Structure formats: structure tokens, C-alpha cells
Amino acid sequence: MNQMSTARATESNTQMVGERTTRISARKVNIYYGEKHAIKDLSIEIPDRSVSAFIGPSGCGKSTFLRAINRMNDTIEGCRLTGEVRLDDKNIYDKDVDVVQLRSHVGMVFQKPNPFPKSIFENVAYGPRIHGLAKNKTDLEEMVVASLKKAGLFEEVKDRLDAPGTGLSGGQQQRLCIARAIAVNPEVILMDEPCSALDPIATARIEELIDELRQNYCIVIVTHSMQQAARVSQLTAFFHLGTLVETGDTNSMFTNPRDKRTQDYITGRFG
Amino acid sequence: MPDHIVKAYDLDIQSLKTMLAEMGGLAEEQLHNAIIALTKRDVTLADLVIVRDEKLDQLERQIEEKAILTIAKRQPMALDLREIMVAIRVAGDIERIGDLAKNTAKRTHAITEPLPRRLSPGLTRMGQMAQAQLKNILDAYSHGDDVKALAVWRADEDLDALYNSIFRELLTYMMEDPRNIGLCTHLLFGAKNLERIGDHTTNIAENTYYLVHGKTIGEDRPKKDVTAMMSTSDLK
């Protein structure tokens, strides 16, 4: 992924979204599942070091587009994409892009926590190991500890790093998955309803974590909870029937949306 | 605007609007009676105003409780959120208007001598203007009419101007004959109350504008009340 690293260094080409630089830029993206036109002519600029929330009713295409950002849709048969999704200045759909490398730059956290059936340590160590990021065992250990700390989990598990990851509580498992995602030093973290399987306390912990992580990462979150989008994000994008209806500063989006469809959706008038 | 998917949510907001309409109607009546009580020195009517103010306070508390409960239960967004926040603020303004009407009515008891003949029309005129402002803003608010709200917001200037002239007149009477001081002081407070009621109507106007547009009026309100800077030497 050398081209991508080079592109990242070219500061002169960076665009601004409000006060922030653009990390991801989608242009005229169309996504099809066979005959179904799931995303229609979508263009969006996603800023770095901030949280962008995708909201919209089920089936509106928000998860489909989220998955397009690290080419998770590649594995779905009959799914094709036109247009461009640029990470920094590199189109991630170019032929020379190594998808495995791409996914180390763009991590993903899913709705249901899905730790590997391995120890807590191994869950986090897996990524750095397969990408050859650690020079030696000590280096790897440091990486695991640092990632667990960043994910706000270390204090709770430091005495049982060899215990299975699946033995943790739901909220802890989700933070373990976040630790696993950040262990490979991504620039972007995609989260697909990361709290929908968690209780309010675990949800609050994840939200607190998201708020800390945004200092260093570009975070994109799909959520069905409007309140969560309002709490954690700086930018909100509203999707409806495969179209990006409205994008805007989160504060104004939830107090004074421009589009009637957004207004109706966030006030609970259609769903 | 289509209905909410949850019907009880519509009922919550509707009940807030109903209580506010009741509050507004009562405040208008209170103001009307207070002005008659003062200008006609009708102590019976004044007492009625004083007693009924309690109802306004009670309605304000009910609106507040309902609003807080609705926020807790529904987590309102966008227009709904503005609707509820504005309802709380408007209820506060109407309650203050009620207090000012009550205070005006109370002064009826303190006034024993007839009002100076020249002054009475000015006060009556000011009372009518304040009532019209209140009526118009309550209409504008209940219909979400931002144009009418802005008109009220601007027209407060005229109420200020009238207040200035009454202020000057009362000062003149007091200077002419110190025996007028007691009466004129009460009338001065009465006029000041009406002027303050005007200010509350402009608050409701600003909130109505915010309710409709989701942003505040982007200019300063024209103000003509200069009495804070006025001394007896300005009267010459």
C-alpha cells in the first residue's frame, strides 16, 4: 500500500470539511446487489479525526455504504460498485489495491462482538502478527497492551490476558474487538451499530471510548439510535432509499434539519 | 407535518399547546381587567385579578412538568425539541405577564384620588397597545406565524415611545405639586409594568421565530425606552 502512504503525505492535496481535513471522499458511488440499486449516486466527504454518523431507516443503504469503505462488499456475490471511494488520494477500488492491506488501514467493528475463539492476548496480537508489524515478542506485547489501554479494557483484563476472549462480558468483548481493530494502526475505524447488542452502561463506555478515539482516528459509525448519533458524532449523514438525503454538522442536524425527510425521520414520523 | 408513529407523542405535544392556549387566554383577560381596574379604580375587579393569578402560576407548573416528562420519555429532536423548549419559555413569559398584570391591579388599592384627566387617555392607550401586542403574539405563536411575530417584535418600539411620554408627564405632575407624588409613583409603576409586558411579548416573538426557523432573529430589536437615562432637567 505504498501509493496510499505516499498520497497520505501529500498535504497540499488535502481538502477541508469545515475545519477538518478530508480523509475519505466518495464520488458518484453506485452500488448494486444484482438488479437491486442499493446506493444511488452518492458523494460525501468524511473528515479526519472526528466521528461521522450514518443514520436512516433499515434498508436505506447506510451499512452497504459503510462496508464499501473497506471493500467488505467484495465478498458478496453479485455486488458491484461504480464511482470512486478515495482514502486520502487513493481510490480504494483501483486494481492495484491490496484488499488485505486496505483493511489494515480501515478497521471494522461489528454489531455483535465477534472475538476469535482465542485468548484475549491473541485476539489483539493477531493483526500485528499477520501484518508483520512487531519486531519481536516484547514489541508485540507492548502493542497488545497499548491497544487494550486505548480501548479502555486493559485495567479490567490485565490479570487474565490468557483467558478466552469469548469469556468476557458483551461490552468487554466489544471493546476487545475495538482493541483488535486499532492494534494494526488503522487510520479509519468503521463501526456498524457497535452498541446495539449492549446494555446502557456498556454502551456509555463505548461512547466514551469513541469520543477518545476520535482524537486520533477517522471514525464512521452506523447507528439506529438517533440519540447516539447526536451524542457521539460531529457530522451526520441521513440516508433514505439508497440516497444520501442530507449531510451536516450534527448539532444543527438534530435541532434544525434542512430536508423534510430528515425532519420526519429523526422526529419519529416515518420509519 | 405528518403525525408521529407513536400517537401518544402527538397527544403529549397537543396537551402542551392546549395548556398554553388556556394560559394565553387567561393572561389576556387578566391584563384587560387590570387596566380597567387601575384606570377606573375598581377594587373589586382588582381583587379578582389578584386571586386569579394563582391559576396562571399553576398552569405554568403543569406545562413545565409535562414538558420535562415529554423530554424524558420521547427524547424529542428537531422541530419537536424546539416546540417543547419554546413552550417552556413562552409559559415563563406568560406567567411574568400575569405577575405584572397582578401588580398593576394591586396598585388600584393604593390610589385614592381620581386620575389626572389629561393622563388617563395616555395610560388607557398604553394599556390597549399592550393588550394588542399580547393578543397578536399569542396568535402568531399558536399559528407558528413568523411574519406576524416579527411585526409584534418591531411594534414594541411604539409601546416604548408611549411609555417615554407618560414618564415625562408623570414627572411633570410630580414637579408641579408634591401632593401628586404618591399617585404618580403608582401610575409610573403601572406604566412600567405595561412596558415590561411589551418586552415579554417580544420574547415570545423571538421564540416563535426560533420555533419556525430553528435560528434566532439575526438583528437587534429596535428600542425606544430612554427613561433609564432621563432626569427632571430633561423636561425643560
pLDDT recorded at residue B230: 82
Strands A235-240 and A243-249: antiparallel
Task: Tell me the pLDDT tens digit for each residue of B39-69.
Answer: 888 999 999 999 999 999 999 999 999 999 9
Task: Tell me the pLDDT tens digit for each residue of A107-123.
Answer: 999 999 999 999 999 99
CB B70 within 8 A of CB B112: no
Which domain does B18 fall in, by range?
3-235
Instruction: Kindly report the pTM of this predicted structure.
Output: 0.84
Class of the CATH domain delimited by A2-114+186-266: alpha beta
The dihedral of CA A195, A200, A204, A206: what is its sign? negative
What's the one-letter identity of residue B199?
D
Which chain B residues have any C-beta within 8 angstroms of a chain A C-beta?
1-6, 9, 74-82, 213-215
- Interface contact A267-B3, CB threshold 8 A: no
pLDDT at A7 over 50: no
What's the one-letter identity of residue A66?
L
What's the one-letter identity of residue B202?
T
DSSP state letter for B13: H
A78-103: b or e for each residue (b if 16 or more CB lie within 10 Å)?
A: ebebebbbbbbbbbbbeeebeeeebb
pLDDT recorded at residue B236: 60
Task: Tell me the pLDDT tens digit for each residue of B123-142.
Answer: 889 999 999 999 999 999 99
Backbone angles phi, psi at B64, to 5 degrees: -60, -45
Q: Where do the structural domains in chain A lie, given as residue ranges?
A: 2-114+186-266
Domains held by chain B: number: 1
Task: Tell me the pLDDT tens digit for each residue of B103-127.
Answer: 999 999 998 777 777 777 888 899 9
Distance (Å, rounded) from C-alpha B197 to C-alpha A40? 54
| CATH number of residue B197's parent domain | 1.20.58.220
Looking at the complex, report in whole angstroms how far the Cα of residue B217 sits from the nearest Cα belonging to chain A. 15
pLDDT recorded at residue A12: 37
Average pLDDT over residues B181-201: 95
Pick from A226, A256, A258, A270 the residue to mutate for testing the B interface (most B CBs within 10 Å): A256
HSE, side-chain direction, 13 A CA sphere, residue B10: 9
Q: Which value does ipTM take for this structure?
A: 0.77
Q: Which residues of B touch A225 (CB under 8 A)?
A: none
